[in-house]
Structure 1
Amino acid sequence: MTDDDLVSRQIVVLGRKIRHRRNLYSRNLDLTSEQADAIRFFADHPQQTIADFRTFEEITHQTARLIVHRLVQKGLITLQPSPTDGRAKLVHFTVAGLEKQAELEQHIWQTSATLFADFTPTEQRQLLTLLRRASDNLAKKGPEIF
């Protein structure tokens, strides 16, 4: 095994641990992890549409619509017609949705604080820079079929 394999393996293991925490917390809020991701997306990108969410998450439009539809059913978001495109619907949070979003945000901060408890701010910035570079490298190369 090469050093690259060991590093990439550790990134995968770390990702699983973070995802596991997120999934447990999402279930505790009566959300799927996909619904939590949608809430996070629409909080970070106001005035966006289901199509924007689909593109960002790299999922099918049908899957994105289903996730958003379930959030509407839960009373966490509403859909309003776009003033510029009659076919598109803009996503807006309800009061309950804003409360869920705040709870998710708090969990993210707590997880981050735990994850980087013994890192200096400089080390955190260095790691972020390196992770972004690694992610960009994969994006440049594109998906491969093995």
Structure 2
Amino acid sequence: MSAPADACRTGDAPELTRLAATLEQVSSWVRRSSPPAEWNLVALSTLDSLDRSGPQRVSDLVARESISQPGMTGLVARLATAGLVTRSPDPTDGRATLVSLTDAGRDYIRERHRLRAETVVTHLRALSAAERRALLAAVPALGRLADQATEPPPESE
């Protein structure tokens, strides 16, 4: 039985729905409270993906970011012009292109993370010690959720 069906069967679907809605609110709040960036969210997510996962094919970035191939190709070209990524032939398939983060791209995305963390930490400090402990206890599960959510979607059968 699938996880959603199990959730409904065991009666925790309302709690999971509330958790999902709260995670969405937190995600939106973090995005809105982040200092302005010269790059849009897809560009920042692409840079982040390259930082976390290493070089990737354009087609894999398309799947991960859920945008069109021409859209990602144009974005990669703009990021390359800015010196944040490089493009090279995929050694396993000369028809494909591998996109890699440059040192400047790595510095840029890590600075974005630092600035965002500063903003969030300010708000975390306003919570009670018990609330901070509860959030810290959830970090491993949230990390697994984020890792799972950033994997390319499974192929349709």
Of 74, 85, 89 in structure 2, the residue corresponding to residue 81 of structure 1 is: 89
Kindly state the Cα deviation for residue 60 of structure 1 after the two structures are TM-superposed.
Answer: 2.4
Determine the C-alpha separation between the residues in 1 that align with 2:144 and 2:102.
33
Q: Does 1:20 align with 2:32?
A: yes
Q: Does 1:102 align with 2:113?
A: no
Which structure ranks higher in relative contact order (CA pairs < 8 Å, sequence separation ≥ 6)? 2
Task: Please list every run of 5 or more consecutive structure 1 residues that lacks an aligned counterpart in the other structure.
Answer: 137-146
Tell me: CA distance 1:63–1:128, structure 2 relative to 1, closer, same or farther (3 Å): farther
Kindly state the Cα deviation for residue 129 of structure 1 after the two structures are TM-superposed.
Answer: 2.7
Residue matched to 1:139: none
Report which of the two structures shows the higher radius of gyration computed on alpha carbons.
2
> What does residue range 1-146 of structure 1 map to in structure 2 within 5 Å?
8-22=20-34, 24-26=35-37, 30-117=38-125, 118=127, 119-120=132-133, 122-126=134-138, 129=141
Determine the C-alpha separation between the residues in 1 that align with 2:136 and 2:144.
12
Question: Cα RMSD between the aligned structures?
Answer: 3.1
Matched letter for residue 70 of structure 1? R
Please report the TM-score for the alignment, with normalisation by the length of structure 1.
Answer: 0.68
Kindly state the Cα deviation for residue 48 of structure 1 after the two structures are TM-superposed.
Answer: 1.2
Determine the C-alpha separation between the residues in 1 that align with 2:16 and 2:55.
40
Determine the C-alpha separation between the residues in 2 that align with 1:84 and 1:132.
30
Please report the TM-score for the alignment, with normalisation by the length of structure 2.
Answer: 0.64
- The share of aligned pairs that are identical, in percent, is 22
Tell me: CA distance 1:14–1:105, structure 2 relative to 1, closer, same or farther (3 Å): closer
Tell me: CA distance 1:115–1:34, structure 2 relative to 1, closer, same or farther (3 Å): farther
Q: Contact between 1:49 and 1:91, CA under 8 Å: does it hold in 2?
A: yes
Kindly state the Cα deviation for residue 63 of structure 1 after the two structures are TM-superposed.
Answer: 2.2
